[in-house]
């Protein structure tokens, strides 16, 4: 009898894992779609759609990288100017 109970728990655990995977996928789909763009399933996406997605991601990454570089240069420049001004008065 003890063996049967442990197998029932294992089966229940497997069923719950399958449900959790499905709900995680649904949560991902729901979180990645908004009113402007529809979710594209990568399994069913055409090569053109994948190329468009790749191009869009590359453009977004370049814009983010550009902002980071500008911010870094601005901060370093500001620190150098402040140090130069403080050095004159000390």
pLDDT tens figures, 57-89:
999 999 999 999 999 999 999 999 999 999 998
50 and 90: one domain? yes
SS3 19: helix
53 and 76: one domain? yes
* Half-sphere exposure of residue 32: CA atoms within 13 angstroms, side-chain side: 11
Considering only residues 32 and 9, tell me which one the structure prediction assigns the higher pLDDT. 9
Considering only residues 34 and 14, tell me which one the structure prediction assigns the higher pLDDT. 14
Give the contacts of 39 (CB within 8 A, at least 6 positions apart): 29, 32, 33
- The pLDDT score that the predictor gives to residue 1 is 46
24 and 54: one domain? no
- The pLDDT score that the predictor gives to residue 15 is 74
90 and 55: one domain? yes
Structure-block tokens of residue 24:
């995680």
- The pLDDT score that the predictor gives to residue 18 is 67
25 and 52: one domain? no
50 and 89: one domain? yes
- The pLDDT score that the predictor gives to residue 74 is 98
pLDDT tens figures, 16-63:
776 655 566 666 665 555 555 666 666 787 889 889 999 999 999 999
Query: What is the domain range of residue 79?
Result: 46-90
Domain count, the chain: 2
Q: How far is the first Cα of the chain from the last one, in angstroms, to the nearest whole number? A: 86
pTM comes to: 0.48
């Amino acid at each position: 009898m003890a063996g049967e109970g442990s197998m029932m728990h294992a089966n229940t655990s497997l069923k719950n894992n399958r449900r959790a995977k499905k709900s995680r996928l649904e949560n991902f789909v729901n979180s990645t779609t908004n009113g402007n763009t529809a979710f594209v399933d990568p399994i069913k996406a055409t090569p053109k759609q994948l190329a468009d997605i790749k191009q869009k991601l590359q453009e977004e990454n370049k814009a983010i990288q550009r902002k980071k570089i500008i911010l870094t240069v601005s901060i370093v420049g500001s620190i150098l100017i402040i140090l130069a001004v403080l050095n004159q008065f000390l």
